[in-house]
Amino acid sequence: MGNPANILFVPEIRMRDGRLIRSLADAIALLREHELRPGVDARDEVLHRLERAGSEQECRHAMEAFIGWAQELDLLAPPEAAHLQP
């Protein structure tokens, strides 16, 4: 895998807290900052998938896992809010 900052989410992902996730590096940073809640969510698994993705397909699957994790925890901005400018 290349530089995580160069692997982009298209379109970018808007979080409820206003943060924009534009790249794999942004997603990794958010996961590292997120409070660890053992047994509650798949944070560690998703983080490891993002960090270890070695191929384009692995990156795509890891990014999908990140989106699923964020949806499960209701961290994504509502769709109508995603179109608003900050």
Alpha carbon 32 to its chain centroid, in Å, reads 11
Which is more confidently placed, 71 or 3? 71
E-strand ranges in the chain read 8-14, 20-23
Alpha carbon 43 to its chain centroid, in Å, reads 10
Work out the angle at residue 47's Cα, subtended by the Cα atoms of residues 85 and 27, and round it to the nearest 5 degrees.
15
- Contact in structure between 20 and 14 (CB atoms under 8 Å): yes
For residues 16 and 1, give the distance between their C-alpha atoms in angstroms, rounded to a whole number.
29
For residues 45 and 47, give the distance between their C-alpha atoms in angstroms, rounded to a whole number.
5
pLDDT band at 5 (very low <50, low <70, confident <90, very high): confident
- Which pLDDT tens digit goes with each residue over 37-71? 666 668 989 999 999 998 989 999 999 999 999 99
Report pLDDT for 10: 92
Report pLDDT for 34: 84
Report pLDDT for 40: 63
